[in-house]
């Protein structure tokens, strides 16, 4: 209890935080912004009231505003614990509820809390007292779901976001179920300090999960299709700024060039950054020489134009110059952006070039086979890889291709079943509904290929029959 | 090598995993001058292992070869010497995510058992987290502490030899997560609460029997834990095969006979179709244990 305030401040909801709204098992990721209206479970409200409160606080929605929940409602319904033993005398005549639809609407209009409305419903139900204890529980639960107006604000985590995406938008994450994602992180031995390759078209959820497990230590190279990587899901994690220093992007359309050694990360105007030039020097295929003059040039046009604009007197001239200035600034901005992009590409290429990555994770809507075969060469030997696919057949193809190609051992094609249980006194059983499928995984470990192995003499000594025999047993 | 950091080359004192073939792995303590017998012959550490790259193919004395792999918690789990029943990767993966473990997490665990889960926790919480693990069996506690040292993760873990149900975890107010794999977890729930941070955290209990789950859930609710949920995760392995399905012979087709040219064109009759598919193993583990998760609220 002796924690100081400083320690606690990180547990409070702040302006700009990425948070997750929660009610029962329904989640929604949002960012806390002033006067931001959100709609969650058919109710709209502003998030401003949450700022300053602790995470995992439950709020009540009172006419569009969030207020601290006054009372913790844990089975405070019906003081008289009266219950029937069976339903032999309960008849469905459609008249057991004495409140009409209009009455209920009235109660809602009056701004009654969900809990109070439920109490009214119970009081006006003629059959409630005859229901069994279990049926009463079930009734209350159902009504709660309908009338409750509370929302909990929780801190985002891989667990919560993976469950959220699976519940809300499974299509966006190729139906990757959260237990499958959990297997991926473990099978790929994701941990702080390693260098991980990711190909993720699951909204960036897999990328975020990997970044969370690496805690800002090491590096992640996201291989992406198209013009820009998709990272909406990654953003929802709300990682601190320094986590982004470890994140690199590399367009998958440049992989062939990189593998062939023909990738040209040298732009027309060479690097301006000292650190970058060091990296470029190591790279050996860039020209960092002309960096200083370029840097000066980059800054100067703006200054120049400012001087001229302040010195100009003719209105016409001025307008013209303003236009010129704007155009120049825009061009300049574009140049800077291009330069940024080029630098990032060069940095990612430098990381890949060592071909010594520590892990590979693929989870995409693309055919996994070419992706796997194209990215596997970037892995060091004795490193794990894992490929996700919503369908089993393409992974069978990957498996056969790897067997043929070599360079990997302990290949396994798996999937997991996830079963949830209701655990209540005398009412414990598996939940009636379970997820039909959470996708399939192919995992394995890279090994040195014969070609890459310098000690050729050893191989020559091998008697052929033994080798064949062993190949058979290899998994 | 270390279980929390990759290295490229095998060194004296490392633990390497010898991959002998499908589902056949063997951990080896690498020592100058030592030898290891495998079914493919002997491996001489000084020449065959030390200085070699992890992932290399090593030729054994009888001419067969094996691969030497860098240790990971997952490889360790399938090759470690059992002193108890252990947790396997499928459950470990689920536990790790649902407990929200990451670098820096402080975790309490009991019992340590053979250390299968412990290694996975240590990998995930390194380099800034810490594991407090409690094992009431003295010999097991000593053995696992020795292993942590050999695996160069001892700086991340404290092993306590005590009874968690009576004495708790030996820490209070520090844990982000607690994991229980003991016969009567309900007796340890209050200790779990004590061990956890005031700001809250996650707890998981692993039990094979539903009666244990019932009592644990009751204890968790009594102690004010929220978000109590019980799940079971089962792994299905698919053996990749090429199978051949014979085609039945329906005898000569009279309609085809009217056009003798066409019949000739089809050539020899195909008698089977081969396809690449998967088959389930003959037997699979049908149950390991129920995983009960809960959240400790802020207190």
Output the pLDDT for position B216.
98
pLDDT tens for residues B47-65? 999 999 999 999 988 888 8
Predicted local distance difference test score (pLDDT) of residue A80:
52
B62 interaction partners in chain A (CB closer than 8 Å): 466
Q: Which two tokens stand for residue B83?
A: 């002193």
Q: What is the pLDDT of residues A163-207, one digit of tens each?
A: 999 999 999 999 999 999 999 999 999 999 999 999 999 999 999
Asked if the model's pLDDT at residue A96 lies above 60, the reply is yes
B173 → chain A, closest CA residue: A1
Burial class (CB in 10 A: 0-12, 13-18, 19+), A78: middle
How confident is residue A453, by pLDDT bands cut at 50, 70 and 90? very low
Q: What is the pLDDT of residues A295-331, one digit of tens each?
A: 344 444 444 444 444 444 556 777 888 888 888 889 9
Q: What is the pLDDT of residue A190?
A: 98
For the segment B115-145, what is each residue's pLDDT rounded down to a tens digit?
Answer: 999 999 999 999 999 999 999 999 999 999 9
**Phi, psi (5° rounding) for residue A470?**
-70, -35
The answer to whether the Cβ–Cβ distance between A179 and B94 falls below 8 Å is yes
**What is the rounded distance in angstroms from the CA atom of residue B287 to the CA atom of residue B232?**
8
pLDDT tens digit sequence for A383-407: 999 999 999 999 999 999 999 999 9
**Mean predicted lDDT score pLDDT of chain B:** 93
State mean pLDDT over B37-54.
94
Q: What percent of chain B has pLDDT over 90?
A: 87
Is the pLDDT confidence value at B226 over 60? Answer: yes
| B258: confidence class by pLDDT, cuts 50, 70, 90 | low
Polymer length in residues for chain A: 475
Cβ contact, residue pair A421, B231, below 8 Å = yes
DSSP assignment of A7-37: HHHTTB--TT-EEEEEETTEEEEEE--TT-E
Say if CB A394 and CB A403 are below 8 A apart: no
Rounded distance, CA A385 to CA B274, Å? 29
pLDDT at residue A101 greater than cutoff 60: yes
Mean pLDDT value across chain A: 82
The confidence score (pLDDT) of residue B262 equals 53
The answer to whether the CB atoms of B54 and A193 lie below 8 A apart is: no
> Chain A contacts of B237, Cβ < 8 Å?
412-414
Of the residues A4, A11, A167, A186, the best mutation for testing chain B's interface (the one with the most B CB atoms within 10 Å of its CB) is A186
With pLDDT > 70 as the criterion, what percentage of chain A qualifies? 80
Q: Is the ipTM of this complex over 0.90?
A: yes
Maximum average pLDDT range among A95-109, A336-350, A440-454: A336-350
Asked if A179 lies within 8 A of B198 by C-beta distance, the reply is no
pLDDT, position A314:
55
CA end-to-end span of chain B, whole Å?
Answer: 41
Q: Does the pLDDT of residue A83 top 70, yes or no? A: yes
More confident position, A125 or A208: A208
- For residue B126, the chain A residues in CB contact (below 8 A) are 191-193
Average pLDDT over residues A63-74: 75
B170, B110 contact by CB (below 8 A) = no
């Amino acid at each position: 209890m002796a924690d100081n305030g400083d320690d606690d401040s990180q547990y409070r909801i702040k302006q700009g935080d990425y948070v997750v709204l929660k009610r029962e098992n329904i989640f929604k990721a949002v960012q806390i912004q002033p006067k931001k209206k959100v709609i969650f479970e058919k109710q709209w409200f502003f998030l401003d009231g949450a700022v300053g409160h602790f995470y995992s606080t439950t709020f009540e929605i009172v006419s569009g505003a969030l207020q601290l929940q006054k009372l913790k409602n844990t089975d405070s319904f019906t003081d008289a614990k009266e219950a029937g033993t069976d339903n032999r005398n309960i008849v469905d005549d459609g008249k057991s509820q004495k409140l009409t639809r209009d009455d209920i609407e009235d109660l809602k209009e009056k701004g009654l809390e969900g809990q109070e409305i439920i109490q009214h419903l119970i009081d006006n139900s003629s059959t409630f007292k005859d229901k069994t204890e279990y049926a009463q529980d079930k009734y209350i639960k159902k009504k709660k779901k309908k009338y409750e107006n509370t929302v909990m604000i929780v801190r985002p985590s891989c667990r919560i976001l993976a469950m959220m995406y699976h519940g809300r938008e499974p299509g966006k994450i190729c139906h990757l179920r959260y237990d499958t994602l959990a297997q991926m992180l473990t099978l790929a031995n994701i941990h702080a300090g390693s260098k991980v390759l990711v190909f993720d078209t699951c909204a960036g959820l897999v990328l975020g999960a990997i970044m969370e497990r690496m805690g800002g230590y090491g590096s992640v190279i996201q291989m992406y299709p198209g013009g820009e990587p998709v990272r909406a899901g990654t953003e929802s994690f709300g990682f601190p700024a320094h986590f982004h220093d470890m994140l690199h992007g590399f367009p998958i359309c440049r992989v062939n060039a990189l593998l062939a050694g023909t990738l040209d990360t040298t732009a027309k105007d060479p690097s301006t950054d000292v650190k970058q030039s060091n990296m470029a020097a190591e790279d050996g295929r860039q020209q960092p020489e002309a960096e200083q003059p370029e840097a000066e040039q980059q800054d100067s046009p703006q200054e120049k134009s400012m001087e001229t604009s302040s010195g100009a007197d003719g209105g016409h001239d001025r307008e013209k110059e303003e236009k010129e200035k704007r155009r120049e600034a825009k061009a300049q901005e574009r140049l800077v952006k291009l330069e940024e992009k080029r630098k990032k590409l060069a940095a990612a290429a430098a990381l890949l070039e060592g071909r010594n990555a520590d892990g590979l994770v693929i989870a995409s809507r693309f055919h996994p086979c070419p992706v796997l075969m194209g990215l596997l060469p970037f892995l060091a030997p004795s490193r794990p890889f894992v490929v996700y696919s919503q369908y089993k057949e393409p992974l069978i193809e990957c498996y056969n291709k790897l067997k043929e190609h070599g360079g990997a051992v302990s290949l396994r094609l798996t999937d997991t079943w996830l079963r949830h249980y209701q655990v209540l006194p005398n009412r414990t059983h598996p939940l009636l509904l379970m997820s039909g499928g959470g996708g399939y995984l192919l995992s394995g470990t890279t090994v040195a290929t014969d070609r890459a192995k310098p000690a050729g003499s050893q191989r020559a000594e091998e008697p052929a029959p033994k080798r064949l025999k062993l190949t058979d047993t290899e998994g | 090598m270390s279980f929390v950091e990759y290295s490229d080359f095998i060194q004296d004192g490392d633990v390497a995993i010898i991959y002998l073939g499908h589902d056949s792995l063997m951990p080896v303590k690498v020592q100058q001058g030592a030898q290891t017998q495998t079914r493919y012959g002997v491996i001489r550490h000084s020449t065959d292992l030390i200085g070699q790259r992890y992932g290399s193919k090593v030729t054994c004395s009888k001419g067969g070869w094996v691969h030497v792999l860098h240790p990971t918690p997952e490889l360790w789990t399938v090759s470690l010497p059992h002193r108890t029943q252990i947790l396997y990767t499928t459950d470990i993966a689920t536990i790790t995510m649902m407990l929200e473990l990451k670098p820096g997490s402080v975790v309490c665990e009991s019992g340590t058992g053979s250390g299968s889960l412990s290694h996975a926790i240590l990998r995930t919480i390194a380099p800034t987290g810490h594991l407090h693990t409690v094992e009431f069996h003295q010999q097991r506690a000593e053995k696992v502490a020795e292993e942590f040292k050999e695996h160069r993760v001892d700086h991340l873990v404290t092993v306590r030899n005590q009874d968690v149900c009576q004495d708790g975890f030996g820490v209070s107010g520090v844990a982000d997560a607690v994991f229980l794999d003991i016969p009567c977890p309900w007796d340890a729930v209050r200790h779990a609460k004590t061990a956890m941070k005031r700001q809250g955290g996650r707890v998981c209990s692993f039990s094979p029997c539903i009666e244990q789950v019932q009592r644990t859930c009751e204890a968790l609710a009594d102690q004010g834990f929220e978000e109590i949920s019980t799940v079971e995760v089962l792994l299905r392995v698919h053996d990749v095969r090429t199978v051949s399905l014979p085609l039945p012979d329906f005898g000569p087709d009279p309609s085809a006979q009217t056009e003798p040219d066409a019949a000739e064109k089809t050539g020899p009759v195909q008698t089977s179709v081969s396809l690449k598919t998967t088959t389930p193993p003959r037997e699979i583990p049908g149950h390991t244990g129920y995983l009960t998760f809960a959240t400790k609220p802020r207190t």
